[in-house]
Structure 1
């Protein structure tokens, strides 16, 4: 009797174990299917569905490794930073956030201008990373952060480490190091540039400008000229810092306020306060009027901008810069024929000025206006006047391309390259023309070369956008 009871109990236990194991195997299979569905949802950018599945999986099997980072990355790509915080900050507080998660948090903090938090997150990501390639990416992000926040000494330290971690970027890193060192110590930066053996053409021009700036005796004037040189090569963030130094020590320097306004606007910042300050100090200054005119043009207040350019131009009739900006403003306001007439006034006073002819051709290209009868002759004459320069050949190539003459455009681009292989714009235009061709790899190479030559310029940034759009590359 006792044995029968024990046998029955054993059978019941075996049955219970079988049921429990069966339930666990079934549940595990179901969770595995949820994992696959979640991965599919992530692939098809269905973030809500993926998150719902992750939550169910985490509730039943908390030991499962779930790709919360990829989910957060999709929200980040949509600039939905609050969702990134909601997903990753609890994991940060629990101490289970990995290096990739910290980097995603850093990018979200950058989107919301929480820069202190961004720095902390990048440093934590660096601490948790054990591979040089990823560590180099983080160091590069830190260098960018320190540059944006004007912590230039820390940025230089990061660049020095980056040169060790990523030898393939040594060339650009060395150039950036020279530029940032010049902001910290102009004499030292200039000396480094002189010793740098393989600087591109734009940097040679920059170096000449810095040399001229160092000859200025007054500190404020020197800093102003350094800022101008940075602005000339499109390094507006460094120009802004230089102009800030001037107005901090010489607050009644109207031109410095005007240039500070322009440098801020070039970076997408507001320049209203600086423009108003410059106008309050020296309302009759032609350079202040120029800066104010540029500001009001960006605000689409064309009548006010045109009035400022006209008044400045009438007082400084020997200098074409005001008439050039007047023409550009007229064109932007839709008054294209008036813009052409303004250019003709400038050309009549100096018919052999190739730069004015190129500006006219570029305005016509920008607005696709009178390409055949205005842009083409202007570009052709500029080529005759400056046959040994790359820019005229490049602009003529752009005109040919806009007119549908692709073979002629390519011929001009190649001529420009023969004259100056370091002229970044022609590489961008070659990349653009090759994107419409049959060999995308040539477009990719041209765009990468553009960034290598001039990463901070308009052309470099445009090339980066095209690489991301067509090749899913983030240089």
Structure 2
């Protein structure tokens, strides 16, 4: 009997071990191991669709893996599933695993889902984080600009500047922000940016010159209208809107200022109706008010009314190229290509040394496949000849050449454009398409993946991702 208790104790200890030899292993560990192997294999093969599916399976068994949730968020974002991406990034954050880069991806997903307010709040919170690389702050500021959060963008940029005061792009971005609200403060930043970035030199010089010249009219609405128009010419519409807002604050009875604000608001995705209505009430006969009213009504689908207002603007200033171009664009949208071509050619005749009407004519020819080898190609070449340093015009000419099958010549212009502006998604997409046409698949996939990585526009990101998927090259 003395041996009974030790024997029973040993039996109790051994039972779990013995049971393991009798019962089959749980399905969960086996499925988890299989899922992890599939994730690894898909990652090695750069198959994002397969990796996404396998990673979802893995996390269903092992949901405590914060880093994997972040990876899942990125995969969902790349595959056009922004709501799922937000959920995955939030899971990573709850586990303390959302990195600085992950926070930027989360804001991108939030913007895509339409949750701009949460994205703004997250970015402002992010800008207060310490020990962050200046480039990351710059990326955050650019996203804030896309949300029209000018104050947040400036605060983030100043944080980046404190880390890297000799970064040309940071200086340029700060210069733009100050130009819209405190122009004289912009000058040293624009000077530094122009010296450090040759491709920014012309824009920095033009804006600097305008700030200095406009100082003669003092702190008036006119000064900010002029600065805002220069910023708009540079396609910097969010900061232009800031300048026009200040112009209306300085003189709320200036109809032109309200019309300019309406245009900038629409360019930034806002409605602008209240602004354009007020401008018409205050200055019904002003050239800019009528011209910008025409653009507003065209965006509303009221093309006949748009032509009426645009014609008033053209009558007020027959030498203005812009109204001929806009009438042509409106007529093209109405399906009247013959009349559109007449107005495009009128614009060229008015100012043949201006690259803008040549560019407009080339874009019309390209998008409508209208006389591409004759009218379109000549117009694209002339536009680039008149503005030889423009990567956008190099890209336009390259696209025109690619369309008519002159691939080798097109490649020259795409590569030149990419060298000047290496993170421009549209250029990278066109370059990738050309490499595919030449059978250079690996080169194509490389630049298309760069296009996905650098894309600030979700439409362009989806376009690049779609091309990769069509060629079975999605990560």
Tell me which interval the TM-score lies in, with the shorter structure as reference length. Answer: 0.7 to 0.9
CA RMSD of aligned residues (A): 4.7
Q: Which residue of 2 aligns with 1:403?
A: 404
Would the aligned equivalents of 2:184 and 2:211 in 1 still touch at CA under 8 Å?
A: no
Pair 1:265–1:41, CA change in 2 (3 A): farther
Question: Within 5 A, what are the aligned runs for 1:232-381?
Answer: 232-349=233-350, 355-379=356-380
Pair 1:402–1:363, CA change in 2 (3 A): same
Deviation at 1:367, TM superposition (A): 1.2
Q: Which residue of 1 aligns with 2:96?
A: 97
Query: Is residue 6 of structure 1 aligned with residue 5 of structure 2?
Result: yes
Deviation at 1:282, TM superposition (A): 1.9
Deviation at 1:13, TM superposition (A): 2.0
Q: Which residue of 1 aligns with 2:31?
A: 34
Q: TM-score, normalised by structure 2?
A: 0.74
Deviation at 1:348, TM superposition (A): 4.9
Deviations 1:313-336 (A, max 9, x none): 123223232111101111122211
Query: Is residue 173 of structure 1 aligned with residue 174 of structure 2?
Result: no
Counterpart Cα distance in 1 of 2:398 and 2:53: 49
Q: Which residue of 2 aligns with 1:212?
A: 210
Would the aligned equivalents of 2:241 and 2:261 in 1 still touch at CA under 8 Å?
A: yes
Counterpart Cα distance in 2 of 1:10 and 1:378: 94
The more displaced of 199-208 and 361-370 is 199-208
Q: What secondary structure sits across from 1:360 in the alignment?
A: helix
Deviation at 1:437, TM superposition (A): 3.0
Would the aligned equivalents of 1:206 and 1:230 in 2 still touch at CA under 8 Å?
A: no
Counterpart Cα distance in 1 of 2:447 and 2:31: 44
Counterpart Cα distance in 1 of 2:143 and 2:372: 43
Pair 1:115–1:405, CA change in 2 (3 A): closer
Q: TM-score, normalised by structure 1?
A: 0.74
Q: What secondary structure sits across from 2:197 in the alignment?
A: coil
| Structure with bigger RCO (C-alpha 8 Å, 6+ apart) | 2
Would the aligned equivalents of 1:400 and 1:409 in 2 still touch at CA under 8 Å?
A: yes
Deviation at 1:366, TM superposition (A): 2.0
Pair 1:5–1:277, CA change in 2 (3 A): same
The more displaced of 424-433 and 288-297 is 424-433
Query: Is residue 150 of structure 1 aligned with residue 147 of structure 2?
Result: no
Counterpart Cα distance in 2 of 1:84 and 1:421: 33
Pair 1:10–1:380, CA change in 2 (3 A): closer
Would the aligned equivalents of 1:375 and 1:399 in 2 still touch at CA under 8 Å?
A: yes
Structure 1 residue ranges without an equivalent (≥5): none
Q: Which residue of 2 aligns with 1:67?
A: 68
Would the aligned equivalents of 1:257 and 1:277 in 2 still touch at CA under 8 Å?
A: yes
Deviation at 1:337, TM superposition (A): 1.0
The more displaced of 369-378 and 393-402 is 393-402
Counterpart Cα distance in 1 of 2:341 and 2:83: 49
Structure 2 residue ranges without an equivalent (≥5): 43-48
Q: Which residue of 2 aligns with 1:16?
A: 15
Q: Which residue of 1 aligns with 2:45?
A: none
Pair 1:118–1:302, CA change in 2 (3 A): same
